[in-house]
Amino acid sequence: MHLPKPSEGGEFTPPPAGVFSAICYRFVDLGTQQTNWEGQVKRQHKIMLSWEITDPDERMEDGKPWTISQRFTWSMHEKAGLRKTLESWRGKPFEAADFGEGGFDTKNLVGAPCLLSIIHATKEGKTYANISSVTKLPKAMPAGTLVNEPVYFSLDDFDAEAFANFSDSLQDTIKASPEYQAARNPSADNGYHAPVASDPGWTPDAESAPPF
């Protein structure tokens, strides 16, 4: 079996553009990742949220539901994309009581319904689907039924079974983080040190999630 040419195979059909009922089915802690934006290298803790479109009239050719994911910097700064998305999702801004002890755990995100707006963008001849907004599901709109298995994965409490079910590329991304190395070999000195409150883009309350 010969290797395919770069232009062969690997075709990916993005989810349709539009506004759909959806349910968050996966929260994945990616650990600290290195990013390069316009020549500026940064190391930031990232997470990934995945949603399943629950509209029964919107299905892939094999009958399975469409899914879409988005990565966020792990930050609750007032200008952070994650905070803006979560506030839009629940329909109200955060208050001090939402953070710290007594706040809601991010596990509450998995299984939470929403109204998902997807737009298409074309780059180098390929069409990509991007999430433009995540808002509160209207009361009169049914949430639908989740088909994909709910997954919550945190490097603070490593779940080997959940990790084994991730794609190879997602596993490789997580493996590149110092948090993964610390979780798999906690006694080793791998140079990883937990972030401090003064680090840009990080807040000590970032692991709290809004109530839904």
Residue ranges of domains in the chain: 18-206
Q: 193 pLDDT band (50/70/90 cuts)?
A: very low
b vs e for 83-112, b when ≥16 Cβ sit within 10 Å of the residue's Cβ?
bbbbbbbbeeebeeebbeeebeebebbbeb
Q: 191 pLDDT band (50/70/90 cuts)?
A: very low
119 against 209, higher pLDDT: 119
Asked if 137 and 157 touch (Cβ cutoff 8 Å), the reply is: no
Q: Can you give the pLDDT at residue 7?
A: 44
* Prediction pTM value: 0.81
Q: 10 pLDDT band (50/70/90 cuts)?
A: low
Q: Is the pLDDT of residue 169 over 50?
A: yes
Q: Is the pLDDT of residue 11 over 90?
A: no
CA dist list (Å): 93 to 88, 90, 96, 205, 212:
8, 8, 10, 15, 12
Enter the tokens of residue 40: 């500026």
Which region, left, alpha or beta, applies to residue 121 given φ > 0 means left and ψ of -120 to 50 means alpha?
beta
